[in-house]
Every structure is written in C-alpha cells, then in structure tokens.
Chains A and B, each alone.
Chain A
Amino acid sequence: MSVATFPAAGSRQPGGIVRVGWGLYDTVVLTWRNLLRIVRNPAYLITEVVVQPILFTLLFAYVFGGAIHVPGASYIDFLMPGIFVQTITFGCINTAVALAEDAQKGLMDRFRSLPIAFWAVPVSRVLADLLIDVTGLVLMVSVAYLIGFRFHGTGAEAAMVALLMLLYGLAMACLGALMGIAARTPTMVQAVGFMVIFPITFASSTFVPVGTMPGWLQAFAAHTPVTAVVDVARHLTLGIPSSGSEIATALAWVLGSLVITIPAATYLFRRMGR
C-alpha cells in the first residue's frame, strides 16, 4: 500500500466557529447520554432528588420543626429554601461520582481517543446535573406547596431565587467535576465528599437559625457558602429585603468558586492519564 492510503488533508482539527460548533454538538450528544442513563436507571434520580429531599422536608417540618421556633415566619417557609440548597449541594457528589465512574470504567479513555472537543465530556456532565437540579427543584416546590409552603415575595424575587439556585447548582456541579476528575475512583469521591459536604450543609442556616448555635460553631456556620446562599434564598422567598452585602457575599462565593474550579478541572482533565 502506498502513502496515499492516508489522506493528508481534511485531518486538521477545524478552526474557529466550526470547531466550537462541533464541540457543542459533542456536548449535546454526551448530555443526552447522561440523561438516558437516568431514564434507564431512575432509582438513582428518584432517591437523590425526590425521596431524600422529601424525607428531609418531612423530618424537619414535622419531627423537629415543632421544637424549632424561627422569628417572623412559619417553619416550613423558613425550611424550604434550606432544603433546596441542601439538595443542590449533595448533587455535587453525584457529579463527582459519575465522572469518577466513567474514568474507572475506561469510558473516559474511549471518549478521549475520539476526535471530539476535550471539554465536551465534563461540560455535558455539568449540563445534565443542572437539568437534574431543575427537575428536583420543581418537584420539591410542588411537594412543599402541598404541605403549606408559600412564596411571600414578588415575581421578580421568585425569578431571582430560581436564578440563584441555578448559579449555585452550576458552582456545585463544577466543584463536583473537579472532585471527580481529581479523585478518579468513586469510593474515594464518596468518602471525601461526605466528610466535606455533610458538615458544611448541617453547620449552616439550612435547618435552624445560626444564632441558636454555640458561639464557636456560629463563627464557622455564619461564614460558609451554604449559609450565604441559603440566607439570600430565604429572604427572597419570605419577601424580606436582602442587604446588599448579603447578596454580594453569596455571589462572591458562587462566582469565586467557579473562577477556581473551572480552570482547575480543565487543567486536570487535560492532564488526565499522564
């Protein structure tokens, strides 16, 4: 066979807009795959974004709620924004586990051996998890309405809550992507994720006002990203005006984490397997 067997032209990676277009197509194809997995095995989704948040809602609203008094609001109205944020926060572990599983099973190597945009794999994961977050939020709000949760703010404030949850979901998915790419084994991700995510979710204003905690814990709980985001979401749903600094703190956490996690995950992903 001659050298001519191998076409020399047409082998270059396309440039500019065409390249980005193919990358977006790759991302859509892989997002479809991530969602199809969930359709095939819905038990996972049902547990993570339906059963678990509903159990936490019922547990806190009915079991603990009677003993928790929050000033100026019913407990269910106080609780729900916390449940939203908690569910999205836990979702970060799912992002990480899914990527680590793909790496462990060799799927990541297969994807990396294809002529696709390298960023399509992690971006499609993040997109799929954002869609899961949205589904979960819709379900949670519906169930919460049945047991007495009411939205007290304006329509604009409702839109702002939704936007904040999306942004926070994006930040959590990117953090999860970084964890999954760095850890490479699902068990490792679960262990580390649980150790970090669990305390940061519970030692916060998610379920109770931070002011009720002992002083040393307040010092921590008042300054976590979870508390910052929950407080803004809560004030918006309760129709209480948020202070500018409160909003700035929450946005700083969310945007700040994106500024760190996206380049770090990109760097590690490009170096994967080296």
Chain B
Amino acid sequence: MERALSAGGHAIVARDLRRSFGSTQALRGVSLTVPAGTVLGVLGPNGAGKTTLIRILATLLPPDGGQALVAGHDVVGESFAVRSRIGLTGQYAALDEQLSGRENLRLIGRLYHLGERHARRRADELLALVDLEEAAGRSVGTYSGGMRRRVDIAAGLVAAPTVLFLDEPTTGLDPRSRIDVWNVIEGLVREGTTLLLTTQHLEEADRLADSIAVMDAGLIIAEGTPEELKRQVGGDVLELRLRDRSQATAAAAALQPLAAGAPRDEDEVLAVPLRAAEGAVVEAVRRLDAAGVGVIDLGVRRPTLDDVFLTLTGHEAEPEAGAGAAAGAAALAEEHVA
C-alpha cells in the first residue's frame, strides 16, 4: 500500500502522475509541488503534456497512475471538493458567444450556487477587474481575442478559487492583448491566488512565475526559479550577422570567454548564448572588433524556449522526428480529447 500523499500546506501536490492515450504516453511520471500563494509556470512545447497535466489536476481526466492533491483534496476521490475550489481557463476561450460577457459570468456564478444577487455582484466585480465594464453588455461573439481571454480568465475566478489553472493564457494573442492579460494575472498574483499556468514562452514564465517546471515529452526535465533556470540556460543571446560567413570560427573564438554555450549557426545568423554578466554585450563588441571580424548587424535577445530546450535536452522545442514524434502524437491525442 502506497503511503497517502499529504498536502502539507501546499496548494498542489502531485506524485508520479501518468497518463496514456492509446500507445502514446502523454505523462510519464510527473511530480510537482506548488506552495500556497505562489505561481508555477509549466514551460514546454506543444505535446509536452502540459494540457494533460492541467486536465488531470482540474479533475477533467483521471490519471492512469500516481496521485494528486489540489487545495488539500484528492483529484480522483474528492473531485467534487476540488472542483468547488479551483478555477480553470483552458486554451480556447470557453464562453457562450451568443451571451454577453456579463451574462457569461453570471451564468458561471449561478452554477457555483452563489445565489442570484451574489452572482450579479461578482460578475460586475470581475468585469471591473479585467477592465471590460464598457463591453460587458455586448455579446462575446463581438469581442477581440484578448477581450475573450480576459472574460475567460474572469470566468475562472468567479468562485474566488484557492487554485487557478491557466492553460496557455496568451497563446494566439497580439502583443498588446498579451500585456493586458499579463496585467490581469499579475493582479491576481498580488492578491495571493495560487496559480499554475502553462506557456510556450520563457518570457511569460519569467515574468509571471515564482518557479518554473520545464516539460518535455511527458516529463519534467528541469525546475527552479526563473533565475536558477536562466543561470542554467545562460543569459541573453547575442545574434551576429557576419560580413563574411567564413569568419564564424574566428567570431566564436573571440567570444569564447563570454559564451555560456556553443555558438549556433542559424541560417544567416550566428547565435551565441552569453553568460549572465554585466557589460557582456559591450565586451563582446570590443572583442569582435579586436579580432577583425566584420559584423553587418548585431542584436541581443532574451533566451527563448528553444534556447532552454537546446541547453537542457539538446533538441529544439518543436516536435520533430525521433523523440519529437511521440510528443507530436501526444499533441494530437490531447487535441482529440479536448
């Protein structure tokens, strides 16, 4: 008999969660702990198992193996108790497009048994929170993607959940809407909501999460604070466009003392991960100049999910042949059940 899992004051505790769809293993033993009042960012490419993980923790899908406690209750044996303490916002805005934003939120409030008066008041509070008071009376079908997502997040907040799940809250949004959604999420975090959010963007996890778990092909392959992770992955990435591509080796040699990893030749661009250090970029320019390397263009970018994956796994984040094929199949399986 397995030792019963204990919440120990944590909002989410999962141990060895497993789940297959047919022959595809979407989760291959995921364990994680989210202390109350903190934000965990689950970072990974399509098909890594992020959505399957959220669906299990939100009681929508039973695991094949392992155990999870959310808000102190078992997601399988006490699913009703879990459901009354969580909010879920999935990848696709789950709203009734014929109804207005306000009507959608009131509907959810009634289904949480808040009572008519509270359901109305809560809807108005949340519309103010996500800054949608003006559009509240219009049907959701007329909303932009960013507005829908904000109502959708508000819908996840109706019952003031102890734990909120956000599955890729900004996927498909334009940069401005993304910032609006981030502002809403940051407001929630300040109020102490425990949050588990999935994302494909390191930048997003970095901005919103207290700690990050990197998922690949159904496993958590790294976890830590954004700082710890970036230390592992390296700091900014220097992108060079060389006048003469045959000088790539000379450039790499010149930058070697500053580099956190091997330079990569990405088509026209040489990408060099820099060690996180002050003045690294200025120093890099000096060294290139001193080595006589002709540079047409030079840019600095934050590390992306691809950089994280290249460093941690040696392969890029996109599902590809081999290891990626299973991930791709898992993505399809997830889509199928969604």
Contact = CB atoms under 8 A, between A and B. Distances in A.
A11 B85 contact: yes
A21 to B, nearest CB: 11
B92 A274 contact: no
A166 B113 CA distance: 31
A33 B105 CA distance: 12
A2 B9 contact: yes
A223 to B, nearest CB: 38
B60 A114 contact: no
A111 interface: yes
A12 B99 contact: no
B61 A273 contact: yes
A40 B99 contact: yes
Contacts of A40: 98-99, 139
Contacts of B113: 22, 25, 115
B155 interface: yes
B5 interface: no
B83 A113 contact: yes
B28 to A, nearest CB: 18
Interface in B104-138: 107-108, 110-113
A112 interface: yes
Interface in A55-101: none
Nearest to A111: B111
Nearest to B69: A6
Interface in B29-86: 35-37, 55, 58-62, 71-73, 78, 80-81, 83-86
Contact of A105 (B55, B58, B94, B110): B94
B7 interface: yes
Contacts of B323: none
A11 B80 contact: yes
A85 to B, nearest CB: 29
Contact residue range for chain A? 20 to 34
B236 interface: no
Contact of B60 (A22, A26, A112, A116): A112
A109 B88 contact: yes
A274 B94 CA distance: 19
A105 B97 CA distance: 10
Contacts of A37: 96, 98-99
B103 interface: yes
B37 A1 contact: yes
A8 B60 contact: no
Interface residues of B, number: 45
B162 interface: yes
Contacts of A13: 80-81
Interface string B298-334: 0000000000000000000000000000000000000
A107 interface: yes
B60 A6 contact: no
A67 to B, nearest CB: 43
B8 interface: yes
A106 B338 contact: yes
B332 to A, nearest CB: 15
Contacts of A26: 111
Given A5-B9, A36-B99, A107-B94, A114 B81 contact: no
Contact of B36 (A1, A29, A33): A1
Contacts of B62: 274
B91 to A, nearest CB: 8
A157 to B, nearest CB: 39
13 contacts: A3-B9, A5-B9, A6-B72, A11-B80, A29-B110, A37-B99, A40-B98, A106-B91, A106-B93, A109-B55, A113-B58, A113-B88, A114-B112
Q: Report, nearest first, the 10 A-B pairs whose CB atoms are least far apart.
A: A11-B81, A106-B94, A6-B72, A13-B80, A110-B94, A115-B84, A1-B36, A37-B98, A113-B88, A106-B92
Interface of A: 1-3, 5-6, 8, 11-13, 22, 25-26, 29-30, 33, 36-37, 40-41, 105-107, 109-116, 273-274
